[in-house]
Amino acid sequence: MDNKIFKLKKALELLKQKGLDGLVIFSSGAFYFLRPNQLNYFSEWRPLGPRNAAVVSKSGKVALLIEPPWDLNRASQKSWIKDTRGTRNFSKDLTSILREFDISGSVGVAGTGEMTLDVYQAIGEAARVVPADDILEEVAREKTQREVEIARKTGRIADAGFNAFLEYARPGIREYELVGEMEFAMRSAGATDNFTLISSGRHNYSMHPASDKRLAPGDIVIGEISPVFEGQVVQICRTVVLGEPDPLLAEKYEMLVHALKEAIKQIRPHVPASSMSIAMNKVISDAGYAKYCYPPYMRARGHGFSLGSISPGATIDDETKPDFEKDQVVVVHPNQYLPETGYLACGESVLVTESGTERLSETKTILYSKGV
């Protein structure tokens, strides 16, 4: 089914089920790595200005209200919503659309957490406001073929970021210069945004935003690489050694790869997400590192990305209750602090399929080394 028809059809079904006259999907234009942007998902257009909204009536009318108005042309080209309107008086024009669409009883509102008080009050004067973030989450739980291809494309962009990581990691380069090369590679491959954490040294304790530290021979360089494309995030975690890796380091990294593989085996529809974490922690615990599997050494064993996924931006651990569902994008990362080696990065994003998983990156999950 066509993407726009699918999204609109599902949204209208949910409006009917909830007895709502319409739906307002708001965006402040801000994008957060771990918080899905509902307007971007629904309209397939990434807002820039501080106040933007899609309005959907229960009869099927849809309009996109854009601030600033000069962004109207871009929205008209990118979004499937044909009724696009620029505004210099957002609250007034939004309530005008509500009246035009005969939305006067109850209106579902998604994105209230980004909304300023004047916009919320203006909607409330036109209709009774009902929180409705769950409507878009429900719509996004079933992906179209286009959305699956976006996830695969984002995985290839992550690979481009890692290839640059591996190519440019060398003694003398600063962390921020290395991340700059990765950013350029991913942007060139189509990324609209990137979130990258890194650390370098003989014994790392965590990953962090890039600093001005210069890489040195013998450094263990770890990276969390997370490009964004069409609202979808995919993350891979990699470790590169500048020089010949110590046999103990190679042994411990292989343990993490084993933990990753055992965790991925658990992922399939209708299986509790906690099983992924439990399987991962068992491998690491059996190797003698049980206490390092939990806070303060570790927080999450993975999480979902984007709308319709499991725990987007939250934590998948031994206590996570929801089951995996088909088409969810999930990152699995036994990123682990070990007393002998320091913190190591090891992780993959997968697409949950009917029978298991599909790996979204092509670069190998191994301990990489570079001669110096």
**Distance from C-alpha of 285 to C-alpha of 274, rounded to nearest angstrom:** 16
Mean pLDDT of 305-316: 75
The model's confidence at residue 315, banded by pLDDT at 50, 70 and 90, is: confident
Domain ranges in the chain are 3-140, 145-362
Q: How many CA atoms lie within 13 A of 45 on its CB side?
A: 28
pLDDT tens digit sequence for 123-164: 999 999 999 999 998 898 888 888 999 999 999 999 999 999
- Beta strands in the chain, from DSSP E residues, in sequence order: 22-27, 52-57, 62-66, 84-86, 106-110, 128-131, 193-201, 220-229, 232-233, 236-242, 302-304, 329-332, 336-338, 342-344, 348-352, 357-359, 367-370
**Sign of the torsion formed by the C-alpha atoms of 143, 309, 233 and 11:** positive
Beta-carbon contacts of 42 under 8 Å, excluding residues fewer than 6 positions away, are 7, 11, 25, 54, 136, 139
3-140 and 145-362, same CATH topology: no
**Distance from C-alpha of 170 to C-alpha of 371, rounded to nearest angstrom:** 9
Residue 372 has pLDDT above 80, yes or no: no
> For the residues of 157-226, what is the DSSP string, one character each?
HHHHHHHHHHHH--TT-BHHHHHHHHHHHHHHTT-SEEEEEEEEESS----BS--SPBP-TT-EEEEEEE
Residue 314 has pLDDT above 70, yes or no: no
Tell me what pLDDT residue 37 has. Answer: 86
Residue 1 has pLDDT above 60, yes or no: no
3-state secondary structure at position 364? coil
**Distance from C-alpha of 42 to C-alpha of 58, rounded to nearest angstrom:** 16
pLDDT tens digit sequence for 31-69: 877 777 899 999 999 998 999 999 999 999 999 999 999
Report the mean per-residue pLDDT for the chain.
94
Tell me what pLDDT residue 3 has. Answer: 64
Per CATH, the number for 145-362 is 3.90.230.10
Q: Which fold has domain 3-140?
A: Creatine Amidinohydrolase; Chain A, domain 1 (3.40.350)
> In this predicted structure, which of 19-33, 150-164, 228-242, 243-257 has the lowest mean pLDDT?
19-33
Residue 325 has pLDDT above 60, yes or no: yes
Please state whether beta strands 236-242 and 220-229 pair in parallel, antiparallel, or not at all (unpaired): antiparallel
Residue 2 has pLDDT above 80, yes or no: no
pLDDT tens digit sequence for 182-237: 999 999 999 999 999 999 999 999 999 999 999 999 999 999 999 999 889 999 99
